[in-house]
Structure 1
Amino acid sequence: MSLMSVRRFLTAFSTTKPLFSCLYTTQNSTVETIFALSSGKGRAGVSVIRVSGPQVCTVLSQMITKKPISTIRPRTAYLRMISHPVSHEPLDNGVVMYFKGPHSFTGEDVAEFHVHGGTAVIRGVLSALSTFPRVRPAEAGEFTKRAFLNGKMDLTEAEGVADLIQAETEAQRKQALRQMNGALLTSYANWRERLLQAVAFLEAHIDFGEEEELEPDIIEKVKGMVSVVEHELLSHLNDHRKGERLRNGVSITIVGKPNVGKSSLLNFLCQRPAAIVSPLPGTTRDIIETALDLAGYPVLLSDTAGLRETADIVESEGVRRALRRAEEADLLILVIQADEIPLDGKLSGLMDDAGSKAALISFGLNAPQNQKVMVIVNKCDLLPEETAYSLAQSFPSASFISCTSAMGIDGFLEKLSNVVAELCGNPSVGEASLTQQRHRVNLEQCAQRLRRFWELMAIDDVTLCAHELQQALICIGKVTGKIRSEEILDVIFRDFCIGK
C-alpha cells in the first residue's frame, strides 16, 4: 500500500458522515417529500404535521396565504390561514414553521403545521398535502432515517430517539435521552479513532518501515492503543446487561408451592385482581404477566403454577412452563408459607441464594448461577406476633409479609426496588450501558478481532494484524452506521412510529 493509499484509507474511515451519505445527497433532486402527523393520534388541543423534502417551499407557498414564501424566515413561528392548494378552501388557522436544510432534524427542508387537533382538521391538511406531486405519506421512522442518512445522527442516537418515544418509566427516559444525546457514540467514536490510528501506523510500517525513517517504537505504540481499546471494550461488554434490562424491563418470576400466596402477592403488587385467588391448590395453571413501574424501573412480573408433583396433565404443563419461565427470569421471588416453616432452626439453609436455589432445583429448576433470588415468607398473620418477629430478626435477608394484612409489605417493596435498581444500574451516571442486542453482537465480534490481533502479533505477522484491526473497525461501524447494511436499517427503523 502506497502512502497515497494510506491517506485515502484514513480519509474514508475518518469522515464524520456515513460512508454512503454522498449517494443519498447527490440524488436529492429525486428524493420524494414526505409528510405525517408527528404528534399523537386522537383529539388534542394542538396537533403537529411535519413535512420534509425538496418540495417543502412549494407546499408552503401554495398552502399559506397573505404573504409570499420569500417573507417566511427559518425557525420563526407564523400564524397563517392554511388553505387547500387546489380548491383554496380554508382548512385551519394555525402556526407554520420552516426549517431550511441542512439546519433541520432531517437535514432537508422541513415545515411544520401546528393545527387544531380535531379529526376533521388533521384529515383535511393531510389530504391537501397528498395532492402535491412527489409528496407522499411518510413510512414508520422515515424522518429519523433521513436524519441518519444525511449525517445528522448515528444509529445509536437514532435508536435513542425510538427508545425515548417508547419510554414508560423515569429510568428508561433517562437512559434513552442520554443515548439520543450521543453517550454511546462518544465511546465508540473514541475507540474507532484509536484503532484507525493504529491501522495507519501498521500500514506505514508495512510499506515504508525499511525505506524511510519511522519511529522505532511504532509497534509498541500500536500495542498500547489496541490494549486501551480492548480493556475499555471488554469493560463495556461486562455490564451484566443492565442497559438491556432497563430498556426491555426486568423479568421477575414468582415461584413456590401451591397456595402459598403467589397470586395474592401479584395482585397486591399490581393493585388489581390480575390473578384468580382461591383456597383450592393448583388454581393458577398458566403464566400470568403484568407490567409495573417500580420506583421508576420497568418490571415484567409473572405469576406461575404451584410447584408440585401432579397427575393432572394440565397442571403438570403449568408446572413445566413455570420452571421454564423461572430459568429465564432476571429475578426469582420464592414464596414460602409462614405456618409451614419449621421452628427448630432448620430454616437457615433456605434463606440465602444457594439454599433457595437448592430448594428450587429439587423441583427441576435449572437456574443460571448469577440469577438473583428473593425469599418471601407469606401469611405471617397466621403466626403468633412474637414468633413472626423472632423469625424476621433471625433471617433479615428474607421478607416476612402478609398479603392479607399488608404487614411487612413496605419493607419488601424497598428491598425489591433496591434489587431491581441494582439489576438495571443508574442510567444517569457512569459509562453508558449497552441497550441493544445488535450492539452487543457486533462489539463481541470486535473483541474477537482484537484477540486475534494479539495472537498474530505474537508471531510477528504485522500484515494480518492490520487486517484484523480493519475488521474491528467494521464491527464498530456496524453499530454506529458507518458501514451500510440495508437489512440492519430495516430492522432498526421498522419499529418507529409514523411521523418520527
Structure 2
Amino acid sequence: MQTSTTIAALSTGSLPSGVAIIRLSGPKTFAAVEALCGSLPASRTLARKTLIHPETGEALDQGLVAVFPGPHSFTGQDCAELQVHGSPAGVKAILSTLTTCCGLELAGAGDFTRRAFENGKLDLTAVEGLGDLLAAETESQRRQALSRLEGGLADQVMIWRALLLDARAEIEARLDFSDEDDVPFALPHHFIADLQALGRKLADALASYDRGRIVREGFRIVLAGAPNAGKSSLLNRLAGSEVAIVTAEAGTTRDTKDVAIDLGGQLITLTDTAGLRETDSLAEGEGIRRAKRAMESADLVLWLLAPDAVSAPDIEMDVPVWRLGTKSDLGRGALVVDLSLSVTSGEGIETLLKRIESHIEGRLGASESSLVSHLRDKDALERAIVSVETALERIDQPELCAEDLRRAADTLAGLIGLMDNEAVLDQLFAGFCIGK
C-alpha cells in the first residue's frame, strides 16, 4: 500500500443515517479540506463549515470539520474528519469531489488501520484487538479486546523478547572473546534458571489460550442426538425465536445451524445438528457427517434423548457430554439422564442455563480474560517455547544455543509486527471494514 497517497472513505455505518463521518488521511488531507471548506479549523477542534465544490461553487452539505496534524493522529499522518448529514447522495457527492477535484483515492478495507500500524501507532496485537473490539457482542469480549488494544499483550511480549535478547547477548559476548586464553567461557550462575523461568512464563501464557479463545469466539455448544429428539425445538427455546424448522417428521435438519446468544455476558454459539442414524440419503448422510465434525470441535455437547424417539448410539468424545432428557411432559420412561426438561412447559430450561453458565465460569476461571486469544498467538508461543527448550538442551553448544534464542526472540517479534510477514498483514487488514 502506498502511504504517500491520500485516502478518503465513509467511516460510519450504512446510509441513510443521522450523521455520516468521512475520514481522510495522507499528505493532501489539509489541502483537500481547505479546498472544500475555504479554511482549516484549529487543530483538534470541531468547526461548523459549509462544504463547497471547489470548481462549481455548489454547496455540497453543512457539517462539523476537524483536522488532526500528524504524527499525533490515528494513522500518524495528517488526518481529517468531516461530520456531515447521513444522506447517500450527499456522501456520494463529497467523496466524488474529493477524488475528482482534490486528487484523493478511495480507501480499501483496513487502509487507515494499516497506516497506523506502518507508522508505529499500533502493533499487530493492538490491531487485532481493535478488530475484536469492533466485532465484540458481549461485555467479556469488549473487556478482553480493549485490554489487547491498549497493549496488554504487546507489553508482555516485549518483556519476554528483551529477556531473550539479553540471554543471547550473554552468550555472544563470551563467544567474541573465546579465542582469548585468559577469558574463560562461563555463563552467569543464574543463566539457566532465568531461561527456565522464562520458559514457564511462556507456557503459562500458552495455557491461557483456551480461555481467551472461548471469550473471543464464544463457547461452542452442540445439540446432538437421534432424529426427533428435540434438538431444533431446544435451539429455538434457548435462542428465543423460531430459527430452526420443527416438524413431527424425523430428519428435518440436514445441516448444522449456528445461533449466538448472550448468557451472563458470555457469548455462546449453539449448533443444531442432523439427527444421528443410519441412512441411505446422501443429503442426510452429509448432514450427519457435519454433525459429528461439529461435536468434535465443541466445548460442550448436549446429548438429547426423548421418550418418543429411537436413541442414537452414544459416541465417545474428548469433550464434555451432558445427557438431557427432552419432552419430559410426555413422561420420562427409563431414560438415564443428567437433567430432564421440556420446551413446551419450560421445565428444566432455567436449570440448564444456570448449569451452562456455571460450567463456563469453571472453564474460564476466576482470573481476567486471557490476552492470548488468537490462533496466531498460540502458534507463536508454541514455536518460542520449543526454541527456548532447545536452547536449554544445547547450553553446552553456545553457537547453537544463541541461534535458538534468536529464533525465539524473532518469533515473538513477528507476533507484535516488529518483523512482519506481508501475507499475514494482507489477511489481517482485509478483515476490517472500509473506513477503518
Is residue 332–residue 373 contact of structure 1 (8 Å, CA) maintained in 2?
yes
| Structure 2 Cα separation of the partners of residues 422 and 140 of structure 1 | 38
- The structure-2 alpha-carbon separation of the partners of 1:327 and 1:40, relative to structure 1 and needing over 3 Å to count, comes to same
Q: 1:443 aligns with which of 377, 381, 384?
A: 381
- TM-score, normalized by length of structure 2? 0.92
Does residue 381 of the first structure (1) align with residue 329 of the second (2)?
yes
| Structure 2 Cα separation of the partners of residues 230 and 431 of structure 1 | 21
Does residue 64 of the first structure (1) align with residue 37 of the second (2)?
yes
Is residue 169–residue 293 contact of structure 1 (8 Å, CA) maintained in 2?
yes
- Aligned residue number for residue 149 of structure 1: 118
Q: 2:22 aligns with which of 32, 49, 60?
A: 49
- The structure-2 alpha-carbon separation of the partners of 1:248 and 1:215, relative to structure 1 and needing over 3 Å to count, comes to farther
Query: Residue 213 of structure 1: CA displacement?
Result: 9.0
- The structure-2 alpha-carbon separation of the partners of 1:218 and 1:430, relative to structure 1 and needing over 3 Å to count, comes to farther
Secondary structure of the corresponding residue to residue 498 of structure 1: coil
Q: Tell me which amino acid in the other structure corresponds to 1:466.
A: A
- Aligned residue number for residue 20 of structure 1: none
Is residue 77–residue 96 contact of structure 1 (8 Å, CA) maintained in 2?
yes
Query: Residue 200 of structure 1: CA displacement?
Result: 1.4
- TM-score, normalized by length of structure 1? 0.80
| Structure 1 Cα separation of the partners of residues 80 and 181 of structure 2 | 57
Query: Residue 274 of structure 1: CA displacement?
Result: 2.3
Mind listing any 5+ residue stretches in structure 1 that lack a counterpart? Answer: 1-23, 342-358
Query: Residue 203 of structure 1: CA displacement?
Result: 1.3
- Aligned residue number for residue 90 of structure 1: 59
Is residue 202–residue 219 contact of structure 1 (8 Å, CA) maintained in 2?
no
| Structure 2 Cα separation of the partners of residues 76 and 83 of structure 1 | 20
Q: Mean Cα displacement is larger for which, 328-337 or 47-56?
A: 328-337
Query: Residue 259 of structure 1: CA displacement?
Result: 2.3
* Residues 455-499 of structure 1 deviation map (CA, whole Å, 9 limit, x = unaligned): 111xx1111111111111110011100002211110110110000
Query: Residue 97 of structure 1: CA displacement?
Result: 0.7
Query: Residue 289 of structure 1: CA displacement?
Result: 2.7
Does residue 469 of the first structure (1) align with residue 405 of the second (2)?
yes
| Structure 1 Cα separation of the partners of residues 189 and 368 of structure 2 | 30
Q: Tell me which amino acid in the other structure corresponds to 1:468.
A: D
Secondary structure of the corresponding residue to residue 158 of structure 2: helix
| Structure 1 Cα separation of the partners of residues 262 and 18 of structure 2 | 28
Q: Tell me which amino acid in the other structure corresponds to 2:172.
A: E
Secondary structure of the corresponding residue to residue 272 of structure 1: coil
Q: 2:7 aligns with which of 20, 28, 34?
A: 34
| Structure 2 Cα separation of the partners of residues 214 and 139 of structure 1 | 59
- Aligned residue number for residue 339 of structure 2: 399
Query: Residue 218 of structure 1: CA displacement?
Result: 3.7
Is residue 195–residue 473 contact of structure 1 (8 Å, CA) maintained in 2?
yes
Query: Residue 423 of structure 1: CA displacement?
Result: 4.3
Is residue 327–residue 366 contact of structure 1 (8 Å, CA) maintained in 2?
no
| Structure 2 Cα separation of the partners of residues 372 and 475 of structure 1 | 34
Is residue 202–residue 222 contact of structure 1 (8 Å, CA) maintained in 2?
no
The within-5 A match list for 1:136-285 is: 136-208=105-177, 211=180, 218-239=187-208, 241-285=210-254
| Structure 1 Cα separation of the partners of residues 85 and 414 of structure 2 | 42
Secondary structure of the corresponding residue to residue 306 of structure 1: coil
Secondary structure of the corresponding residue to residue 130 of structure 1: helix
* Residues 196-219 of structure 1 deviation map (CA, whole Å, 9 limit, x = unaligned): 111111111111367599899744
Is residue 184–residue 432 contact of structure 1 (8 Å, CA) maintained in 2?
no
Secondary structure of the corresponding residue to residue 191 of structure 1: helix
Query: Residue 399 of structure 1: CA displacement?
Result: 2.4
Query: Residue 295 of structure 1: CA displacement?
Result: 2.6
Is residue 195–residue 225 contact of structure 1 (8 Å, CA) maintained in 2?
no
Secondary structure of the corresponding residue to residue 320 of structure 1: helix
Query: Residue 60 of structure 1: CA displacement?
Result: 2.0
- The structure-2 alpha-carbon separation of the partners of 1:110 and 1:229, relative to structure 1 and needing over 3 Å to count, comes to same
Is residue 334–residue 374 contact of structure 1 (8 Å, CA) maintained in 2?
yes
Query: Residue 300 of structure 1: CA displacement?
Result: 2.3
Higher helix share: 1
- The structure-2 alpha-carbon separation of the partners of 1:263 and 1:217, relative to structure 1 and needing over 3 Å to count, comes to same
| Structure 2 Cα separation of the partners of residues 314 and 77 of structure 1 | 59
Secondary structure of the corresponding residue to residue 300 of structure 1: strand
Is residue 160–residue 176 contact of structure 1 (8 Å, CA) maintained in 2?
yes
- Aligned residue number for residue 353 of structure 2: 413
* Residues 378-429 of structure 1 deviation map (CA, whole Å, 9 limit, x = unaligned): 2222338xx99xx9xx97xx22211110012111111122333444567xx5
| Structure 1 Cα separation of the partners of residues 89 and 265 of structure 2 | 38
| Structure 1 Cα separation of the partners of residues 96 and 221 of structure 2 | 47
- Aligned residue number for residue 288 of structure 1: 257
Query: Residue 157 of structure 1: CA displacement?
Result: 0.1
Is residue 129–residue 135 contact of structure 1 (8 Å, CA) maintained in 2?
yes
Identity rate of aligned residues, in percent?
38
| Structure 1 Cα separation of the partners of residues 189 and 409 of structure 2 | 20
Q: Tell me which amino acid in the other structure corresponds to 2:429.
A: F
Query: Residue 451 of structure 1: CA displacement?
Result: 1.3
Is residue 53–residue 110 contact of structure 1 (8 Å, CA) maintained in 2?
yes
Is residue 242–residue 433 contact of structure 1 (8 Å, CA) maintained in 2?
no
| Structure 2 Cα separation of the partners of residues 168 and 382 of structure 1 | 37
Is residue 257–residue 308 contact of structure 1 (8 Å, CA) maintained in 2?
yes
Mind listing any 5+ residue stretches in structure 2 that lack a counterpart? Answer: none
Secondary structure of the corresponding residue to residue 241 of structure 1: helix
| Structure 2 Cα separation of the partners of residues 117 and 328 of structure 1 | 43
Secondary structure of the corresponding residue to residue 35 of structure 1: strand
| Structure 1 Cα separation of the partners of residues 184 and 22 of structure 2 | 59
Does residue 109 of the first structure (1) align with residue 45 of the second (2)?
no
Q: Tell me which amino acid in the other structure corresponds to 1:377.
A: G
Does residue 372 of the first structure (1) align with residue 320 of the second (2)?
yes
| Structure 2 Cα separation of the partners of residues 74 and 271 of structure 1 | 49
Q: Tell me which amino acid in the other structure corresponds to 1:375.
A: R
| Structure 2 Cα separation of the partners of residues 74 and 54 of structure 1 | 16
Query: Residue 58 of structure 1: CA displacement?
Result: 0.8
